[in-house]
Amino acid sequence: MPSNLLKIVPVLFLFLVVQLSLAESLAPQYATTQCPHKPAGRLEEDEHRQMCPLPELLLGNSSWSYAPTCNYYETSPGITSEVHCLFTSTAFRNGHGVSLISTSTVASHLVGLDAFTDGPFFLRSALGKPYEIIDADGRGKGVVAKRTIRRGEILMVDYPALLIGIQFLQDTQPHHRRRLLRQAINQLPEDARARVFALSRGNAPHEMDAILGPNTHSVSAQVSPIQHPYRLNAYYRFSQPRLAMEVVAYHTIEAGEEVVISYAPLTTKRDARRQYLKANYGFDCDCPLCHAPELEIHDSEARRQRVVELYNTMTDAKSERYFQDAINIAEEWLQFAEWERIPPLYPEYHDILAGLYLGKGDIRNATRYARMALDGWARFGSDDDDELEKARLFLQNLTMTR
């Protein structure tokens, strides 16, 4: 199941930051002149942090507007030095700009994906923003709909200004970390730099820490003002190949209604959720659900847990080839998600049903739902067309089997 349906990414994607998480290790037999295949994902770092390609090939890449700056230090006696580098592109997304602090492995993968190259998919029609940013009654900034936003509509698209490897945050001494972070921000274009420094701040004594603290819930200065109240009506989805974040309406948001997303995993229970928000974002949650009667809280938590259980049961049934059972469970899964107001996108649901009916051998219904999925992804209008292309290929293959 797409991760954004059951959990809004809590820490992985930070305010103007994407934390690039640890993943598989590179096999030691790779030659230093050879780049290994990385099927687990191009933004994932390996724990040995082997550089690929060779540093001189990456450091001279034309994607960067400044000469990359690198930090070298010993991880432990006798162990090869850790290397984290700062790369900045001021041309990224038509002058939006981005700074990346990570290993050369991650940087090279992003360059290889053309993640820093603008293409036709970034030329979205300018229909005007359906929201405005306001002062939110002592809660900092908030986002309010200016018009009715329909269910499943992308109401906001933004791009990161700063991407940071999680290992850099964990391993680097505070004074070195703050120095490189400040340089990363200062190398951004003037507008992006001003937006970062204009973000609300926490109580940390150091400026960089104060900016990071209360703003670690999204990947952009534009999304940062969206409030947390736990009766959320929107979520965000991040595209790694496009380095784009889209905020999508879970259900219809009326004009004047505040746009709210979750900063914590949706299945987290209230007490744990409040502790998580305090520890990671520095505020005491005062949302209606946290202060609701115990019975209402219990029912909501039970429904959210049931959504997870049903999805897992559905995927288990599919893997065991009990396709009709999986279809029945999928319908119940959607029903519980609707009750809790955290439904999947319709094309995601139709993709699932198309696959299940194909497994069952029901080509007629598989084709029906595949067409609905393809139409839904086309209407969705995402900068990332991967799901659209998958749906197109699925339907094409179905047509050939008939």
Token representation of residue 23: 């993943």
Q: What's the CA gap between 71 and 172, in Å, rounded?
A: 9
Angle at 224 between CA 220 and CA 229, to 5 degrees: 140
Cβ-contact 383, 122 below 8 angstroms: yes
Share the mean pLDDT of the chain: 76
Give the C-alpha distances (Å, rounded to integers) separating 401 from 51, 59, 364, 392, 397. 45, 49, 11, 15, 7
Token representation of residue 232: 């959320």
pLDDT at 253: 93
Token representation of residue 268: 């987290």
Cα-Cα-Cα-Cα dihedral sign, residues 362, 365, 369, 375: positive
Q: Whole-prediction pTM value?
A: 0.69
Q: What's the CA gap between 372 and 235, in Å, rounded?
A: 22
> Concatenated DSSP letters for 167-198?
HHHHHS-HHHHHHHHHHHHHTS-HHHHHHHHT
Q: Can you list the positions of beta strands (E) in 146-300?
A: 154-158, 162-165, 234-239, 244-249
| Alpha-carbon Rg for the chain in angstroms | 22
- Biggest distance spanned by C-alpha atoms of the chain: 67
Give the C-alpha distances (Å, rounded to integers) separating 69 from 65, 116, 181, 206, 376. 12, 18, 11, 22, 44
Which domains can be identified in the chain, with CATH numbers? 9-121+159-220 (no CATH), 294-401 (1.25.40.10)
Class of residue 176 by CB neighbours under 10 A (exposed 0-12, middle 13-18, buried 19+): middle
pLDDT at 60: 54
Give the C-alpha distances (Å, rounded to integers) separating 201 from 91, 140, 213, 221, 274. 28, 10, 7, 13, 20
120 secondary structure, DSSP code? G
CA atoms within 13 A on the CB side of 317: 20
Backbone angles phi, psi at 287, to 5 degrees: -70, 160
pLDDT at 362: 96
Token representation of residue 213: 């603290």
Token representation of residue 346: 């319709």
Token representation of residue 65: 């507007």
Cβ-contact 155, 143 below 8 angstroms: no
Q: Which residues contact 328 (CB under 8 A, 6 or more apart)?
A: none
Question: Residue 152: helix, strand or coil by DSSP?
Answer: coil
pLDDT at 120: 55
pLDDT at 278: 77
pLDDT at 77: 64
What residue ranges of the chain have pLDDT lower than 70? Answer: 1-62, 73-82, 119-127, 136-140, 200, 202, 213-231, 280-282, 402
Question: Residue 300: helix, strand or coil by DSSP?
Answer: helix
pLDDT at 273: 82
